[in-house]
């Protein structure tokens, strides 16, 4: 005699299958919701940190230019400078104002004429060099610490300089430009006759009427120039 295997009641089997299918679908839904929440949180974190990444990039860019200027001075036994485009709009280029930097070397030595070395470099979009004065450059409701040491860059006295753009990259600054600069002497030290205490500060800003409006004094970075010519990174506003 052939025994048949016991088969469950068909109705019960279908009901169980439906319950299992329903539970599985609910589990899938919970997993998907959890993944969406995780991705949303990660995206929010990335967006929140975007400004910090841009500031860090700007800080590294400035440090590289400062190092290049110092090397140019020591190798060629002449003074060298890092210029920041400082010709304020509407007379100047709004896209370059406080964002364009380039190394210049005095050539020949002692002539007072400076030629471009390497390419001009832009800071990341939305990040600017904080000038010695933020008058007219602050977002509404923002108070920028101006007391010593203050979150302001320290440059040589801004004045027209004869910049000779012998390379195409030098044309970015044009001819005689009223800009900000730091200078290294022929031995590679920070020139005390020009700036006893050099400091370059970068911060985020939003454009308004072609001028940057600095908007967050709690998140700034920069570099300090020592008398020896060495630089120190500053990542905390309180350390300036």
Tell me the pLDDT tens digit for each residue of 42-51.
333 333 344 5
What average pLDDT is seen over the chain?
76
Q: By CB neighbour count within 10 A (0-12 exposed, 13-18 middle, 19+ buried), where does 72 fall?
A: buried
Higher pLDDT pick, 180 / 206 = 206
Predicted pLDDT at 238 = 87
* pLDDT surpasses 50 at 53: yes
Query: What does the pLDDT look like over 125-164, one tens digit per residue?
Result: 999 999 988 999 999 999 998 876 789 998 875 554 555 4
CA pair distance 36, 186, nearest whole angstrom: 59
Confidence of residue 203 (pLDDT cuts 50, 70, 90): very high
User: Does the pLDDT at position 212 exceed 60?
Assistant: yes
pLDDT of residue 13: 52
Per-residue confidence (pLDDT) for residue 202, from 0 to 100: 97
Residue 40: pLDDT above 70? no
What pLDDT is stored for residue 146 in this prediction?
Answer: 81
DSSP string across the chain:
-PPPPP---HHHHHHHHHHHHHHHHHHHHHHHHHHHHHHHHHHHHHHHHHHHHHHHHHHHHHHHHHHHHHHHHHHHTS-EEEEE----TTTS-TTTTTTEEEEEEESSTTSSEEEEEEEEEEPPTTEEE--S--TT-B-TT-----SSS-S--B-SPPEEEEEE--SGGGGGT-SSEEEEEEEE-TTSSB-TTT-SS-EEEEEEEEEETTEEEE--TTSEEEEEE-TTS-EEEE-SGGG-
pLDDT tens profile 57-111: 999 999 999 999 999 999 999 999 899 998 889 988 899 999 999 999 988 888 8
Closest-CA residue to 103 (of 72, 147, 130, 132): 72
The percent of residues in the chain predicted with pLDDT above 90, rounded, is: 38
Task: Tell me the pLDDT band of 9, cut-offs 50, 70 and 90.
Answer: very low
Query: What is residue 33's predicted lDDT score, i.e. its pLDDT?
Result: 39
Higher pLDDT, 36 or 186: 186
């Amino acid at each position: 005699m052939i025994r048949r295997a016991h088969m469950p009641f068909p109705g019960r089997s279908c009901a169980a299958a439906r319950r299992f299918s329903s539970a599985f679908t609910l589990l899938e839904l919970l997993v998907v919701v959890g993944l969406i929440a995780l991705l949303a949180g990660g995206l929010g974190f990335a967006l929140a940190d975007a400004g910090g990444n841009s500031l860090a990039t700007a800080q590294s860019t400035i440090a590289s230019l400062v190092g290049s200027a110092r090397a140019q001075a020591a190798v060629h036994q002449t003074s060298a400078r890092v210029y920041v485009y400082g010709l304020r709009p509407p007379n100047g280029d709004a896209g370059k104002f406080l964002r364009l930097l380039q190394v210049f070397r005095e050539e020949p030595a002692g002539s007072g004429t400076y030629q471009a070395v390497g390419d001009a470099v832009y800071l990341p979009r939305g990040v600017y060099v904080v000038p010695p004065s933020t008058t007219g450059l602050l977002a509404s409701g923002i108070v920028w610490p101006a007391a010593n040491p203050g979150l302001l860059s320290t440059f040589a006295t801004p004045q027209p300089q004869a910049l000779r753009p012998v390379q195409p990259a030098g044309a970015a600054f044009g001819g005689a430009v009223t800009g900000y600069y730091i200078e290294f002497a022929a031995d590679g030290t920070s020139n005390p006759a020009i700036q006893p205490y050099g400091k370059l500060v970068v911060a985020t800003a939003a454009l308004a009427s072609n001028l940057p409006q600095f908007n967050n004094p709690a998140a700034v970075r920069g570099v300090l120039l020592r008398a020896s010519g060495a630089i120190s990174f500053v990542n905390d506003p309180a350390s300036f």
